[in-house]
Amino acid sequence: MTPSLPTSTSLGPIRLTVADLPASAAFYETVLGLRPLRADGDELRLGTAAGTPLVELVERADAAPRPARSSGLFHLALLLPSRAELALALRRLALARHPLEGASDHLVSEALYLSDPEGNGIEIYRDRPRAEWGREPDGQIRMATLPLDLDAVLAELPEDLDPGSPDPGVPAGAVIGHVHLQVSDLDQAEAFYNGVLGFDVVVRGYPGALFVSAGGYHHHLGLNTWASAGGAPNAPGTRGLDRFTIVLPTAADVAAAGKRLAAAGAPATAAADGSLAATDPFGNELLLTATAS
């Protein structure tokens, strides 16, 4: 029987290995609007103005670029609480003169796409209400990639916005909504993320991609082989994804996931706080932690 994760499962901070911490920090603060929360030598944690951690940067000046066609990060996705906040994010990008690489209406969400200075993909998006999400005849969530009307998004800017006021930064309520990974094989990805961890498959019909989630969300993880089919695993110490975090409701849920990983031959390493570090079949590290951790 396929396991199923609790409906309140979510994602926590994502950690990236970078070669130039000052340049990356300036990008995440100025272009994305994140606020520095904690600095410790070659590590920097950033998040919302309210103190929610979202992105961790670890500097390794000698880290090699991730090899082409290898597994790793496709993009991290910052979920904003409203369309007005997406408009403010778009305005922030324009003021920073940072180029967009795409802007899409996915039916369930509206998204902006860009990259950080080291080539890590980033999505900034807002969700439509779940009541507006469509379904395919087989029950899977209907998603698409359509052009996004940027003028309509900008029309959501507050009428009383003071152009000279300080940037308030990423708002409270912003979270890492999903993480999209490059993998070498979708069957292996489904066997691990669905068959072992317990994410539900929500979209299987996208060519070369698989989307999984908990609690009926459109996706917590995207998995694709568009540029990585049959490629090498994500090598430790290279630039890009160091690890991402899956947040479960309780310590018992974390322990149960750990038992499933061990039974599948992918044992996890426990930390003093009860969290578990594991590695997927493609070399991507994930941290399983409980909400109260």
Is 153 within a domain? yes
Domain extent for 17: 10-290
* Nearest residue to 122 via CA among 175, 208, 180: 180
Distance of CA 66 to the CA centre of its chain: 18
pLDDT tens digits along 13-37: 999 999 999 999 999 999 999 999 9
pTM of the model: 0.96
**What is the mean pLDDT, run by run of 10 residues, along the chain of 293 residues?**
92 98 97 97 95 97 94 98 96 95 98 97 98 92 95 91 81 97 98 98 92 97 97 94 97 96 94 94 97 65
pLDDT at 292: 57
Instruction: Specify the number of domains making up the chain.
Output: 1
* Secondary structure class of 85 (helix, strand, coil): helix
State the residue for tokens 């493609």. 282
What are the tokens at 211? 């989307």
pLDDT at 293: 47
* Nearest residue to 71 via CA among 212, 188, 197, 214: 188
Q: Can you say whether the dihedral through the CA atoms of 150, 155, 156, 159 is positive or negative? A: positive
Is 3 within a domain? no
Q: Give the neighbor-by-neighbor strand order of the sheet with 146-147.
A: 146-147, 102-105, 109-115, 121-127, 72-80, 175-182, 221-224, 209-213, 200-203
Angstrom distances, CA of residue 113 to CA of 136, 148, 206: 26, 11, 19
Q: Read off φ and ψ for residue 30, nearest 5 degrees.
A: -85, -45
Is 4 within a domain? no
pLDDT at 1: 75
* Dist. CA 207–CA 32, nearest whole Å: 30
* Dist. CA 280–CA 293, nearest whole Å: 22
Please check whether residue 33 is in contact with residue 92, taking contact to mean a CB–CB distance below 8 angstroms: yes
Is 5 within a domain? no
* Nearest residue to 31 via CA among 124, 111, 119, 102: 124
What CATH number is associated with residue 208?
3.10.180.10
pLDDT at 217: 97
Is 2 within a domain? no
